[in-house]
């Protein structure tokens, strides 16, 4: 069973059409939930870190929220340049054991 499930797999929006991307996780002892953006052929680019249920973080048109079972990445009035794959990753464990477990990602396409 996957520890991190992202949905939908792909999302097509019209410019200005707000929506939310979902990341469900089943790890116990969550130490951090991370959102990254990945453009084709590039490395993941850090967006947000969330640590505890109820936490929210915002940057430009993006807002990330966290509950005990899932996280949402809300995109308000998206632009074509927001088109990318959005990755969710969780971290459990402690000390030097700090690997990230990623979901499969959500491919967002924003049409002008």
Partner 1 sequence: EPEVTQTPSHQVTQMGQEVILRCVPISNHLYFYWYRQILGQKVEFLVSFYNNEISEKSEIFDDQFSVERPDGSNFTLKIRSTKLEDSAMYFCASSVGGTGDTQYFGPGTRLTVL
- In the complex, what is the shortest distance from the CB of residue 46 to partner 1, in angstroms, rounded to a whole number? 6
Site for partner 1 in 37-96 (CB under 8 A): 41-46, 49, 51, 87, 89, 91, 93-96
| d(C-alpha 76, C-alpha 68), whole Å | 23
- Beta pairing partners, 48: 35
- Helix H or strand E segment including 6: strand 4-7
Of these, 24, 32, 57, 70, which contacts partner 1 (CB under 8 A)? Answer: 32
For the chain, the first-to-last Cα distance in angstroms comes to 38
Q: Which residues bind partner 1 (CB under 8 A)?
A: 31-32, 34, 36, 41-46, 49, 51, 87, 89, 91, 93-105
């Amino acid at each position: 069973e996957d520890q991190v499930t992202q949905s939908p797999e792909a999302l097509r929006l019209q410019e200005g059409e707000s929506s939310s991307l979902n990341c469900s996780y089943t790890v116990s002892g969550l130490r951090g939930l991370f959102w990254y953006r990945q453009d084709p052929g590039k490395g993941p680019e850090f967006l947000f870190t969330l640590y505890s249920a109820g936490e929210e973080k915002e940057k430009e048109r993006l807002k990330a929220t966290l509950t005990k079972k899932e996280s949402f990445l809300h995109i308000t009035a998206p632009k074509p340049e927001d088109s990318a794959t959005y990755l969710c990753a969780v971290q459990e464990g402690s000390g030097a054991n700090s690997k990230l477990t990623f979901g499969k990602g959500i491919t967002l396409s924003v049409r002008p």
